[in-house]
Amino acid sequence: MDKKYGAYICTGCGIGDALDIEALSGVVTSEMSMDCKTHQALCGSEGRALIEGDIAGGVNTVVICGCSPRVMENEFNFGDDKITVRGNIREQVVWCRAEDADPEYVQELASDYVRMACTRAQKTDLPEPYQLEEMSKKILVMGGGVAGLTAATEAAKAGYEVTLVEKSDKLGGKALEWRKQLPTKAPWTDLEDPSVSAMVSEVEAASNITVKTSSEVARIGGSPGNFGVTFKAADEKSEWDAPAKVAVDEQDLIDKGEMEDPNAGLKP
């Protein structure tokens, strides 16, 4: 992005009474090499029109020195394709200065805030979204209980290809042991027969859901939108397993060869 800077100093809210605005403008023009304009209320329609006029003339990086960036966010929002940096010389300088503060120090503090804002504008670039060339639309659901069954069904209905992995040899989880379940419809007074079997049937019948029972996820690599997943048989050891806890006395036994190392073969 070729930057064209415009810096603006607001003299409202007591800023103009407390600071030498001409000297402050000089910091912007001479030290930071940016055009600088001042106005008594940059947040007002006239002040914004001043900035917007410059933007129409090509300014795409705006430095506004006045109130805190926590306020007037909408007034100073000139669009996502513009860089806007706010220098806080109101709350951080003018409004918090001691009554007997040396004006020279106050002025220097304001100058530093202006320098910082200008420097930040110089060093800021518009973010460019990182876009994968090809984004995977496959969804992995881990766990075949009620939550996993629901997630898999809904994702499949939304058109995604789903793989549902379950450690045990059948889907349904703890809900398979339920005799009754909480009511799901008005008047909310009668327990209902469990719906988990119907949910399992729905998942098994869905053409875009692949069910892997007696399986676990061994490893997930890659990054969002481009994950790669490796499966393993349930309870099988893999070099990618999280290490088991080994107490100090157990480590002694392992070192003496009197106990099997539970983490043997794992990646360090």
In the complex with ligand SF4, the residue whose CB is nearer, 84 or 153, is 84
In the complex with ligand SF4, the residue whose CB is nearer, 51 or 59, is 51
Burial class for 93, CB neighbours closer than 10 Å (0-12, 13-18, 19+): buried
Q: How far is the CB of 123 from ligand SF4 (least distance, A)?
A: 24
- Say how many Å lie between the first and final Cα of the chain, rounded: 45
Q: Which residue is nearest to ligand SF4 (CB)?
A: 12
Q: How far is the CB of 33 from ligand SF4 (least distance, A)?
A: 24
Q: How many CA atoms lie within 13 A of 204 on its CB side?
A: 11
Q: How far is the CB of 39 from ligand SF4 (least distance, A)?
A: 8
5, 6, 17, 95, 137 from 25: Cα distances, Å:
14, 12, 15, 20, 53
In the complex with ligand SF4, the residue whose CB is nearer, 72 or 151, is 72
CA distance 208 to 164: 11
How is the chain split among helix, strand and coil, in percent rounded to 5? Answer: 35, 20, 45
In the complex with ligand SF4, the residue whose CB is nearer, 66 or 144, is 66
Give just the sign of the alpha carbon dihedral 20, 24, 25, 27. positive
Q: How far is the CB of 106 from ligand SF4 (least distance, A)?
A: 16
Q: Helices H, strands E: what count in the chain?
A: 7, 9
Q: How far is the CB of 102 from ligand SF4 (least distance, A)?
A: 23
Number of other CB atoms surrounding residue 38 within 10 Å: 20
Q: For residue 257, give the DSSP letter.
A: T
Q: How far is the CB of 34 from ligand SF4 (least distance, A)?
A: 18
CA distance 233 to 218: 9
- Binding-site ranges for ligand SF4 (CB under 6 A): 10, 12-13, 15, 41-43, 66-67, 72, 90
In the complex with ligand SF4, the residue whose CB is nearer, 13 or 24, is 13
In the complex with ligand SF4, the residue whose CB is nearer, 49 or 147, is 49
In the complex with ligand SF4, the residue whose CB is nearer, 90 or 117, is 90
CA-based nearest residue to 22, from 87, 110, 85, 141 = 110
Q: How far is the CB of 133 from ligand SF4 (least distance, A)?
A: 44
- DSSP, collapsed to helix, strand or coil, labels residue 197 as helix
- Which neighbouring-strand residues pair with 227? 222
